[in-house]
Amino acid sequence: MANISESETIGAATTERYKYGFVTDIESDTAPKGLDESTVRFISAKKDEPDWLLQWRLKAFRQWLDKADEEPTWAKVNYPKIDYQDSYYYSAPKQQETLNSLDEVDPKLLETYNKLGIPLQEQMMLAGVAVDAVFDSVSVATTFKEELSKHGVIFCPISEAVQKHPELVKKYLGSVVPVADNFFATLNSAVFTDGSFVYVPEGVRCPMELSTYFRINAAQTGQFERTLIIADKGSYVSYLEGCTAPMRDEHQLHAAVVELIALDDAEIKYSTVQNWYPGDENGKGGIYNFVTKRGACRGRNSKISWTQVETGSAITWKYPSCILQGDNSVGEFYSIAITNNFQQADTGTKMIHMGKDTKSRIISKGISAGHAESTYRGLVKVMPGATGARNFTQCDSLLIGEKCGAHTVPYIEVRNKTAQVEHEATTSKISDDQLLYCRQRGLSAEDATTLIVNGFCRQVLQELPMEFAVEAQKLVGISLEGSVG
C-alpha cells in the first residue's frame, strides 16, 4: 500500500465506485413525492430485492406509521417539524454536470479544499471536474480488488450484498439496530437505498484501510444510508466514512443506520469525519443528521472502537454505541464535536456491559463557538451479569465566546456491585493568557485558537487513521473560522 501514490489511490476509488455500482442505474425514475407502502414497494422493486427484504421493509414501514407520535423530542435540539410527506424517497441520481476544469468551480469551494490541503486531482474529483486519463487507475484498482478478494474480504454496496450474499445480510441486518429501535431507524429500515457492506472472514486482518475507497464515494452519500460491517472471528478491519471536504446535499434530513458486529477476538475500528453543510452564519439551511450507529461485541475478547469528528450539519443527533455481550470485550468512543454559529449537536454514546470483565472507554471533546449548543449525552449501563465491568468516561467541553453553551448529561446505571465506573468532566475556555502567549510568538488569533483547540482534541485526533488526522486538524481550524474576534 505504501508505495501507491495519492493520485493512484483516487483513481482506484473512481473505478471501484463504478465497478461496485456506487453509481446506480441512471435510467431509473423517481418515486412520487411522499411516503406510503407503494413507495417502499417501489424502492424494493427498483433494487430487485428478494421477497424477505421487501417484507422486512414493509414491516418497518408499518411500525413507523405506528410511531408517528414518537419522533424523539428528548434531545437538546430545536428544529421545525419535518413533513415526511413533502419529500422524495427514491429518485434517479442526477447526472452530475461535468465541468471541464477547476476554473469553473466555485472559488469558495476551492479555497476550502486548499486550506484542507486536498491534492489537486482529488479536488477535481470532489468538485465534479471530468477526470481524464492522466492517471491510469485500472491496474491499481485491480490490485486493490484482487488484494481484498485474495483475503476473502467482501466490500460492496449493500444492495449488491443483498443479491450476492443474501445469507449474510439476512443473518445480520437489523440484528444490532432492530427495526423498532427508534423513529429514525425504523424509517431508515423501510426506505434505505444505499450504504456499504463489509465482511471480513475468520482470522483475516483486512489488508487496507477501507477509507481508501470511501473517500470519494462519500460525496455521494445518500439520505437513508445503511451500513453493515461484520468482522468474523479473529479478524480486524478499519473503516472510515465521510470526508473532510464540505458536503452539500439537497436533502435536508439524513437518517443513517450503521450496524457493526464483532465476533470472538475480532476488532472493528470505525472512524467518521462528518462535514455536512451546517447552514450559513445566520443558521439558515443546513443538514439534519439523525443517525443510529451501534456495534455489538458479540464474541469474547472482541473490540469495537468508534472515533468521530463532527463538524458539520445544522443539527446532529447521534450516539454511536457498543453492546458488550462477549466476555472481556472492549468498547471505545472517541469524539470531537465542534459547533459554531447556530449549529446544534446532541451526541454521545451508550456502553451496555453484559459480559464479564467488559471494558469501555469514552473520551468526548465538545467545542462550542458562536451561538452554538453542544450536548454530550452518554449512558453507561452495567447489567447484572457483567461482573468485573469497568468504564472510564472523560467529557471535556471548551467554550469560545460568551453566547455558546455546552451541556453534559451522563446517565449511569449499575446493576452489578463489582463494576467500576469513573466519570470526569471539565468545562473550560480558551484563556486570554493562552491567546496572548501564542500571539506573542507570532500566531494570529485564529491560528492560536486552532492550535489550542487541536491540542484540546489531541486524545481523539490521534485515534484517527494517519492520513485523515492531518486533514482533520485543519478542518478543526476551518470549522472555527470567524469565531474569534
Partner 1 sequence: MTVMLEIKDLHAAVNGKEVLKGINLTINAGEVHAVMGPNGSGKSTLSYVLAGRDGYDVTQGSVMYKGADLIALAPEIRAREGIFLAFQYPVEIPGVAGTTFLKTAYNAIRKHRGEKELDAMQFLKLIREKQKQLDMTDEMVRRAVNVGFSGGEKKRYEMLQMAMLEPALAILDETDSGLDIDALKTVADGINALRDPGRAMLMITHYQRLLDYVVPDFVHVLAGGKIVRSGDKSLALDLEKEGYAVLGTAAA
| 478 near partner 1, judged by CB under 8 A | no
- Residue indicated by cell numbers 470511501: 214
> DSSP code of 94?
P
- Residue closest to 276 by CA, chosen among 252, 307, 306, 240: 252
Query: Judged by CB under 8 A, which stretch of 12-20, 195-203, 384-392, 457-465 contacts partner 1?
Result: 457-465
What cell numbers appear for 93 in the block? 441520481
Query: Judged by CB under 8 A, which stretch of 18-26, 42-50, 170-178, 447-455 contacts partner 1?
Result: 447-455
Shortest Cβ 428–partner 1 spacing (Å): 9
> DSSP code of 104?
G
| 107 near partner 1, judged by CB under 8 A | no
Distances (CA, A) of 350 to 180, 230, 283, 409: 18, 20, 29, 12
Q: Residue 215: CB partners within 8 Å, gap ≥ 6? A: 10, 13, 122, 240, 243
State how beta strands 154-157 and 196-200 pair. Answer: antiparallel
Distances (CA, A) of 335 to 99, 133, 305, 346, 366: 36, 39, 11, 12, 8
3-state secondary structure of 416: coil
| 452 near partner 1, judged by CB under 8 A | yes
| 427 near partner 1, judged by CB under 8 A | no
Shortest Cβ 303–partner 1 spacing (Å): 25
| 433 near partner 1, judged by CB under 8 A | yes
**How many CB atoms sit inside 10 A of residue 84's CB?**
15
| 117 near partner 1, judged by CB under 8 A | no
Query: Judged by CB under 8 A, which stretch of 12-20, 174-182, 189-197, 427-435 contacts partner 1?
Result: 427-435
Q: Which of 434, 467, 470, 474 binds partner 1 (CB under 8 A)?
A: 434
| 399 near partner 1, judged by CB under 8 A | no
Shortest Cβ 123–partner 1 spacing (Å): 22
Q: Which of 5, 420, 437, 482 binds partner 1 (CB under 8 A)?
A: 437
| 440 near partner 1, judged by CB under 8 A | yes
Contact present, 183 and 257 (Cβ < 8 Å): no
DSSP 109-174: HHHHHHHHT--HHHHHHHHTB---TTS--HHHHHHHHHHHHHTT-EEEEHHHHHHH-HHHHHHHTT
Distance CA(22)–CA(214), nearest Å, equals 10
| 248 near partner 1, judged by CB under 8 A | no
For partner 1, the closer CB: 164 or 458 = 458
For partner 1, the closer CB: 429 or 439 = 439
Shortest Cβ 473–partner 1 spacing (Å): 10
| 138 near partner 1, judged by CB under 8 A | no
Cα 165 → chain centroid: 24
| 454 near partner 1, judged by CB under 8 A | yes
What cell numbers appear for 261 in the block? 458486529
Query: Judged by CB under 8 A, which stretch of 204-212, 283-291, 344-352, 430-438 contacts partner 1?
Result: 430-438
- Residue indicated by cell numbers 480488488: 145
Distance CA(75)–CA(187), nearest Å, equals 18
For partner 1, the closer CB: 87 or 434 = 434
Q: Binding residues for partner 1, how many (CB under 8 A)?
A: 23
What cell numbers appear for 8 in the block? 493512484
| 459 near partner 1, judged by CB under 8 A | yes
Q: Which of 438, 475, 478, 480 binds partner 1 (CB under 8 A)?
A: 438
The neighbouring-strand residues paired with 199 are 154, 230
Residue type, 264: D
For partner 1, the closer CB: 384 or 455 = 455
For partner 1, the closer CB: 75 or 472 = 472
| 431 near partner 1, judged by CB under 8 A | yes
Q: Which of 23, 445, 470, 484 binds partner 1 (CB under 8 A)?
A: 445
Distance CA(244)–CA(234), nearest Å, equals 31
For partner 1, the closer CB: 208 or 430 = 430
Query: Judged by CB under 8 A, which stretch of 211-219, 262-270, 276-284, 441-449 contacts partner 1?
Result: 441-449
What cell numbers appear for 228 in the block? 453493515
- Residue closest to 323 by CA, chosen among 356, 291, 354, 361: 354
- Residue indicated by cell numbers 468485573: 388
| 457 near partner 1, judged by CB under 8 A | yes
For partner 1, the closer CB: 107 or 442 = 442
| 458 near partner 1, judged by CB under 8 A | yes
For partner 1, the closer CB: 85 or 440 = 440
| 417 near partner 1, judged by CB under 8 A | no
| 379 near partner 1, judged by CB under 8 A | no
Shortest Cβ 438–partner 1 spacing (Å): 8
Distances (CA, A) of 449 to 278, 369, 443: 20, 11, 9
- Catalog residues that contact partner 1 under the rule CB under 8 A: 431-434, 436-445, 447, 451-452, 454-459
